[in-house]
Each structure stands twice: as structure tokens, then as C-alpha cells.
Amino acid sequence: MALFLSLLLIFMFPSCNADNPPSPGYYPSSTIGSIGFNQGFRNLWGPEHQNVDQGSLKIWLDTSSGSGFKSLNSYQSGYFGTAVKLQSGYTAGVITSFYLSNNEEYPGYHDEIDIEFLGTTPDKPYVLQTNVFIRGSGDGNIIGREMRFHLWFDPTQDFHNYAILWNPSEIIFFVDDVPIRRYPRKSDATFPLRPMWVYGSIWDASSWATEGGMYKADYRYQPFIGRYSNFKLGGCTSDGPSSCNPPSGSPSGSSGLSQQQYTAMEWVQRNYKTETPNCNYFKFVDEDDEDVTSTIRSNTRASNGVTVEDFNELRRRLYDVENEHDDYGRRLRMVENILKAMVYLIMVFMNGIWELGMFEMFEMNGTGFEMFEMNVGDVSEHCPVRLYDQNKDHVYSIPAE
């Protein structure tokens, strides 16, 4: 009887980690012709760490340098893909990437759409990190959306195709033509609209890449190699005709995905999406002596409809703590503004923008209130929103440890 029930459960609830995703039914890469590296790209840095052979590219990282490449043209929209084969063994701390960016055009205020392979230790799989990153690091209004995945295959054994589709209405990430993530345009403030170039690189990101920086790049295993082939650049260049039609990721030619594609994407997200361990630390700093008077640790995940104005309002409320030099008055203002922020977030929740998770106040001691933590529930597929302010006499943030 027990055996019968076990078999019944297996048939009723099959393993969630099946070998392969359902067929998406549509293969956008087949609509874009392949090109060799030199037809669409050039070296950007580390030329001595690049090798082109019959249109394919090998780049590597060692103690002297990594390497990067860049497209010959900038694009307003398009389908951008490449096949990548990753190095096996110990690759912790090393990032191999393929992405869109306008960092050189807008330094400190740039947009970016990333596919990043986070290096790992031999006993654990690679992490594929996707990110949509808007308006750079210099203006106090970074908006970043990360989502991480494991893969249903070993990316070190063979080449697999990875692609970014970017048009005015959406961004879709593909692995072997299977959509793994769709990022729709909800507002101009949370969607990249300026022209971008296509890049690839390999570099040392030991401070955060592998389990939050727990494992660093170990150059006893150098060189770390990334291999690229089957490049695809199909889209509208920034200096092209206005009549250029941006590509679509669905068979209908419209925005969105077909039902079959959504089914495949849901399978990937259900079975291979991983948590994105990313918190922001907001510190209140005294203007004179830079003593840290309070830290807010927030784990926020954006929902559809969140705007920059919402975050600016929250930040403005938090700024009220500054410039209170009287110890008692400063701490009293701090508690007051914390309560204001709480009320604000509750109001936001009531408006359906965020799902309020939990507020926890702690470390009350003889000198007064020192710290509080707020967690806002994950109400969408997008990952933590980042707010940065580089002015150290105000509020600034530190990436998660």
C-alpha cells in the first residue's frame, strides 16, 4: 500500500527539477543571422587577453588583467545574443558577462542590461544573474532589478546561447531561446530608453560575486577563460532610420510572449530561479564628525508601478535626520522620522505599490535608539531596488555584505 501511494504521488506531483524546460514553441534566434566577432565588435580593454579565431572569441583573466569588448555600433533596440562556454573548476570571484550599457556616454548616470555568470566553487553550479540597471551611480536615484538563476545544464560542457531582447515595451532574457525573464516597461523612470552598446568582459569581482564575497578569485587556477561564438546583433542602430521596426520576442510580432513561451518561462522560474541576497544599508552620518548615528537596513523588492518619485519622497523623509547636533534632539528627530517613514510605507502599501512585510526595531539602550530594520515583502519578480546617495554628509548606502 505504501509503495502504491508513493508511485501515485510521483505521477501526480512530478519532480519540479525536470531535465529540460517545455518547448517555447518559438525560436527568435533563428530570425537573426550570426556574425563573426570582427563584423560587429572590437576590443575595448585587455587586448593581450583576447584571441579571435574564425569569428569566435576567447578572453581570459589572470593576475595582470582581464579583458572586454564592445560593439561597433550603438542601438536603440534589438536582439543581442552570443553563445558562451564557461570554464569549469574553481572560478569563484570571476564574472563572465554579456550586456548592454551606455556607461561611456553617460558616466555616473548610465543604463545597463546585464547577463552575468557568477563564478563558483567546484561543488556548486554557476549562477546566471540578470539585471536591469537605470540611471547610474551619481545622481542618487539608481534603480536596479536583479534576478538570479541556476541553469538546467552544465554551462562548462558546451556552448549555449544567451540573449537579450530590448525594445520600447519590454526586455526579455533568453537561454537557448527559452525566455527566463520578462521585464515590461511600466514607466519611463524604470525602463532604459537611451541608446546602448553591446559589451562583454571577464573580470575579478571577488568582493561580491560568489556567495556575497565569501569565496575570492584564486589565481592558482589562472587563467580564467570565457569563450564566445555565434554572435547575433539584430536591431535598430541609434543612427539608423526612424522607420526601423524593433524586434519582438513572440511569434505574433507584438509585445509579450505566447502562452507556450510563458509556460516555459514559468517552468524555469519555478525550478531554477534563486534568491537574490541583496540588501541596502542606509547610514545617517553626522555632518561634522561623520559618526554613524543610525543605520537602516532594508531589503526592498520593487513591484509594478513603483516610481522614482516614490523613492525620492521616502529619501526626503529620511534626510530630515541630518544636521541635528544636539544629541537628544538628533535622536528624537531620528525616531520621529523613522515613524514618518513607517507611516509613508504603510500609505504606499495601502495604495497597492508595496506589500509591507515587517518593521523591527531593536538595540534600544541607555543612550537611546540606535538602529532599526525594515523588510518590505517581495511582491514581484523584480529584485531589490537600490537607492544611492554619494554625498556623505547625508544618507548614503553600502552594498549588502
**Cell representation of residue 211:** 556567495
Q: Residue 111: which of 185, 45, 180 has the closest Cα?
A: 185
Query: Around 294, how many Cα atoms within 13 Å sit in the side-chain half-sphere?
Result: 31
Distance CA 368, CA 332 (A): 9
C-alpha span between 223 and 49 (Å, rounded): 10
292-299 and 368-377 as β-strands: parallel, antiparallel, unpaired?
parallel
391 CB neighbour count, 10 Å cutoff:
9
Cα distance from N-terminal residue to C-terminal residue, the chain: 50
Which one is catalytic: 105, 116, 287, 290? 116
Neighbours of 23 (CB within 10 A): 13
Answer yes or no: 48 catalytic: no
CA distance 176 to 27: 8
Q: Which of 102, 87, 93, 314 is nearest to 206 (CA)?
A: 93
Helix (H) or strand (E) run with residue 6 in it: helix 2-12
Dist CA 280 CA 283 (whole Å): 10
d(CA 176, CA 268): 12
Each residue of 313-334: b (16+ CB within 10 Å) or e? ebbebbeebbebeeeeebbebb
Q: Cell 552544465 sits at which residue? A: 154
116 in active site: yes
DSSP, collapsed to helix, strand or coil, labels residue 337 as helix
**48, 112, 290, 381: the active-site residue:** 112
* Cβ atoms 250, 257 nearer than 8 A: yes
Catalytic residues: 112, 116
